[in-house]
Structure 1
């Protein structure tokens, strides 16, 4: 497998996350008014952090990647423990469902109970966020050639905090798409949708099949709803002509900029490779060296 592309998955995710972090929740017009086109790592803004600072998207992806490398496979209980340790470090950014699920885990629920309990007690509109799809790409590197297992671990990784089928299948579809890109297939998203067709929720199918066919919807939403995030990020990640263009386009749409940027970045990184990400972005991110090393380690997981 091409190590430049596997590194691109993790580094692209981090670049999209860090580029989008200072403008999270801003509108496209607000970003344009302040920056013109935001294509440089800038400081402060949302969350008031220095340029190149990653958020919960990359931090949780690092939890998964470190666990995979150290455990030599996917251990959901170990991942959940790492999420809790990260939660206890008082991160400046954490999603509501993630926080609620990790509190349940700390109270004694098992990894497969906590997210389920939170989901069952959440109202529609507050039960299918993008907090698990943003962190799941490390799994696509380790299980790229074993699609049955990739679907299983992708869904389990989501279930820790996001048990809604739109989230669990969303993780599976994203990771199958990444695996297809790493294998250089011609229709990665279509192949992913076909593979999980029997159980995928209708909302995901309706949103993603046009993207798989190369079409652009009349509007692309940038909310934290997992279906919106996947549709927009896959549109930009699969349709742009360079890794940088994919990330810049996604972030400048506004809304949930760090997460949509992270997902688009992982997809674009798998398409174009880490070598095609701007050096000025990578040098601004403190975690670049670790992400590169982990991407290589994940290739050795059996």
Structure 2
């Protein structure tokens, strides 16, 4: 498979996961008829293919990396603020579904000018930085050490808790392996990054693989969120099934599916994403153009 396929798949996969999962966002697992397709609707009454904050922030991050030629925390935060205030990079022109931790960090940045505004408090360890991660390991894909470092730094702007940064570093490493064509085992058991927090060490060790499905949670907590996304990738053998399993966990369904979509999209490639999802997803051509830009083609 061409590397262009994997890059397009990674970013389109994030957006498609987001667009599928938003339909049952905030609904506890078991309280809704399981999703079998991308259908739109949900709490924000979105049109088919429209996505939420996960993809908006990922596109802000990707545009910043390309415009600045690398990692510029202040520029990233300015773009996130433009999304918050003006709907920049929104699928429908307005900002919606913004997380509390993100909003607090952006307001702090506006007051102080310090772009590393993410709270370091453990109780703020949400999934709002890992959900948008893909552009960082994509941009730094040729240098895994830089990819891992800047994956952590990309969290610190809004989510400074150690476990958030560690989760982003592990996923960043996994995405580089996937973008390079690694096997599923090589992706999930990568040794290019050794986590520093016990929670992420447990995920790197693959403990989730043998957990009962009932114990997998689609919550907003970054550890549960990454675990759920990797569980769904591990226990399925195609993009569609991985995303539907992730979304049907409910609760923070759009983000679980967006995280899963980054890995599954890079692994299965653009052609592994259902063609009707690819054609329906909002701003699909722009997302694919950004993916190829991050590759440097």
Compute the TM-score of the two structures, normalised by the length of structure 1.
0.90
**Number of the residue aligned with 2:159:** 162
1:210 deviation in Å? 2.1
Distance 1:147 1:28 in 2: 36
Distance 1:50 1:184 in 2: 34
Count of aligned pairs between the two proteins: 285
Distance 2:182 2:21 in 1: 29
Distance 1:271 1:43 in 2: 25
- Distance change >3 Å, CA 79–CA 12, structure 1 → 2: same
Instruction: Confirm or deny that 1:189 pairs with 2:188.
Output: yes
**Number of the residue aligned with 2:210:** 216
Residue ranges of structure 1 left out of the alignment (5+ in a row): none
**Number of the residue aligned with 1:177:** 174
C-alpha contact 1:177 1:189 (8 A) present in aligned 2: yes
Deviations 1:104-140 (Å, cap 9, x if unpaired)?
001123112x21xx334xxx4x310000000011111
Task: Please tell me the root mean square deviation across aligned C-alpha atoms, in Å.
Answer: 1.7
3-state SS of paired residue (1:111): coil
**Number of the residue aligned with 1:22:** 23
Distance 1:208 1:196 in 2: 9
Instruction: Confirm or deny that 1:87 pairs with 2:84.
Output: yes
3-state SS of paired residue (1:144): coil
1:282 deviation in Å? 1.8
- Distance change >3 Å, CA 240–CA 137, structure 1 → 2: same
**Number of the residue aligned with 1:75:** 72
Distance 1:165 1:103 in 2: 21
Q: Give runs of ≥4 in structure 1 deviating > 6 Å.
A: none
**Number of the residue aligned with 2:286:** 290
3-state SS of paired residue (1:296): helix
Q: 2:63 aligns with which of 54, 63, 66?
A: 66
**Number of the residue aligned with 1:234:** 230
Distance 1:207 1:141 in 2: 22
Deviations 1:153-194 (Å, cap 9, x if unpaired)?
111110000001111111111111011011123412322xx3
Deviations 1:230-274 (Å, cap 9, x if unpaired)?
001011123321011110111012121000000111111011001
3-state SS of paired residue (2:131): coil
Distance 2:54 2:43 in 1: 15
C-alpha contact 2:20 2:40 (8 A) present in aligned 1: no
Instruction: Confirm or deny that 1:272 pairs with 2:268.
Output: yes
1:205 deviation in Å? 1.3
1:79 deviation in Å? 0.7
Compute the TM-score of the two structures, normalised by the length of structure 2.
0.91
Deviations 1:197-236 (Å, cap 9, x if unpaired)?
2x52001112341258xx3312211111000000010111
